[in-house]
Structure 1
Amino acid sequence: MLKKGFNRCRVIKRHRISGKSYVVKWFDPREGGEFQNISITSVKGNGYVSLGVSPSEIDKDWVICIQAHK
């Protein structure tokens, strides 16, 4: 179950997002727990942006949560 505020999942193809600013957090679906930050904690979309790589165990499944700044 996703934490409050991150209640929907969508596939973002090729990391293309609109011109808004977004918060970026990672979630480990295998272990649960709190969202995790990496070096990229926010992005401003103007086409294609880098979302970074998972905090650890890059060969395992992770969920990246992207939420528009309010």
Structure 2
Amino acid sequence: MSTSTYSVVGMTCGHCVSAVTEEVSQVPGVTAVDVDLASGGLTITGDAPVDEDAVRAAVEEAGYEMTAGR
């Protein structure tokens, strides 16, 4: 199992959290997604390391910006 943590910029409400969670959950290999609105934290769990570029693309598809790991 592999866990990665990132920061997401621009989230302001529960809908934002839902949008990011939904998009990132669709990235191949992702088994769990945890988004913390207060800190902007995004924690992803997968059976193997997940492609960071794919995660970044999913966050951008949701309308937000992912920064380097926290």
Bin for the TM-score computed over the shorter chain: 0.3 to 0.5
Q: Work out which of the two has the higher radius of gyration on C-alpha atoms and give 1 or 2.
A: 1
Q: Give the TM-score of the pair, scaled to structure 2.
A: 0.35
- The structure whose residues are more often strand, as a share, is 2
More helix by share: 2
Which structure has more RCO (C-alpha within 8 Å, separation ≥ 6)? 2
TM-score between the two structures when normalised by the length of structure 1? 0.35
